[in-house]
Amino acid sequence: MVTAAIPGGRLVILLAAFILGGAPVPSRAAAVDFKAIPRLQELKDRPAAPDFTLPAPDGRKVSLRNFHGKVVFLNFWATWCESCREEMPSMERLYREFRGKGLEIVAVNVKDKRRDALAFVKELKLSYPILMDPEGEVGLLYGAFGLPVTYLIDRKGIVLARLWGPADWNSPAARNLFRALVEQKP
């Protein structure tokens, strides 16, 4: 702890907090830096994410709008997609850290058989929601002609950014990005 011969003890406390690793100004949320993920494109016109309804593997129908209020990581994947297989463990780790803070990962499987998708999920021990798009219609709407493609959607259903291709979603920079996203005031 640094003591200083300055009128008022406030500076001392601020320095201590800084040294201990906390930001001394808690009211300002961290800035959202999309450059944290290589090739992640910010969608500056902020389009609304088109709603859709797809079944979960158990048949239950789920709509994208059901996730309003959460930051949504919308990912399109398939079992034959090598890069999808590579990035999913990092998605799972990201999910475990931020699920309780308002992050939802919605992973839409495009045109696989249900049993193949389920085997893949079981093999990789994935815990986030999976939806099935057997006709590929939602995939087409979201530009998922190549996989994976990922959209970052805010709590109001507005698309913030899009990435064609895989990423390490659990890198320190990525985690900072998601920390900032979940901390954004709705």
Q: Specify the length of the chain in residues.
A: 186
Size of the site for another protein (CB under 8 A): 13
For the CB of residue 65, give the shortest distance to another protein in the complex, in Å. Answer: 15
Print the binding letters for residues 121-160 with another protein: x by CB under 8 A, - otherwise: -------------------xxxx-x---------------
Q: Could you tell me the maximum CA-CA distance found in the chain, to the nearest angstrom?
A: 72
For the CB of residue 171, give the shortest distance to another protein in the complex, in Å. Answer: 24
Cite the beta strand spans of 18-176 per DSSP E. Answer: 41-42, 53-55, 61-63, 71-77, 103-110, 130-133, 149-153, 159-164
Q: Is residue 50 close enough to count as binding another protein by CB under 8 A?
A: yes
Reduced 3-state DSSP string for 138-163: HHHHCCCCCCCEEEEECCCCEEEEEE
Contact set for another protein, span 72-101 (CB under 8 A) = none
Alpha carbons within 13 A on the beta-carbon side of 20: 10
Q: Is residue 9 close enough to count as binding another protein by CB under 8 A?
A: no
State the DSSP code for 136: -
Residue choice 164, 165, 171, 179 for contact with another protein (CB under 8 A): 164
For the CB of residue 60, give the shortest distance to another protein in the complex, in Å. Answer: 25
Contact set for another protein, span 30-49 (CB under 8 A) = 41, 45, 47-49
Q: For binding to another protein (CB under 8 A), which residues are involved?
A: 41, 45, 47-50, 140-143, 145, 162, 164
